[in-house]
Amino acid sequence: MEISQDTVVTMHYVLKNDNGDIIDQSTEERGPLSILQGHGNIIPGLEEELLGKSKGDTFATVISPEHGYGEYQDTMVQIVPLSGFRSEDENEQVQEGMQVQVETNQGPAVAIVTKIEEEDVTLDLNHPLAGETLHFEIEVVEVRSAEENEIEHGHAHGPHGHSH
């Protein structure tokens, strides 16, 4: 069976950056990754590369930021007042490098605290891989037709399904 819209693809993957550093990979422990093809579960560039591939296929592909996590945008770096982060609990004080949930015009988003200076907090709302050229090595482990409820939910279910 070939990978097409609404198939569930199970794959092993290794993701490296331009320097050859491994950024992410499937492991024996976590098992291969299962995705529902054509529903934006993964970046558009990789969905495109998967089309037409079959079980057992292995390939390497290089994906530009445009087809990956987007270009790095300076406008997505914002400075907000520290007073918005005050917490009663001393152990929950905001720190550099922390991920925080913020409200944006497009709804909730995750930002990384890149700097804290006096009363200002700098938040970076870019995806951590924005601007990166992505080097994937893929092994297609399995391809099957999606169940109806997987298509409804927009994601793949594991071997035992799930309840949401």
Binding site for Zn ion (CB under 5 A): 153
Of 74 and 160, the one with the shorter C-beta distance to Zn ion is 160
Number of continuous H segments (helices) and E segments (strands) in the chain? 2, 9
Q: How far is the CB of 108 from Zn ion (least distance, A)?
A: 20
> 3-state DSSP call for residue 78?
strand
Rounded to a whole number of angstroms, the distance between the first and last alpha carbons of the chain is 28
Q: How far is the CB of 154 from Zn ion (least distance, A)?
A: 8
Q: How far is the CB of 128 from Zn ion (least distance, A)?
A: 26
Q: How far is the CB of 86 from Zn ion (least distance, A)?
A: 37
Of 8 and 134, the one with the shorter C-beta distance to Zn ion is 8
Contact 126, 74 (CB under 8 A): no
Of 55 and 153, the one with the shorter C-beta distance to Zn ion is 153
Region of 111 please: left (phi>0), alpha (psi -120 to 50) or beta.
beta
Of 104 and 145, the one with the shorter C-beta distance to Zn ion is 145
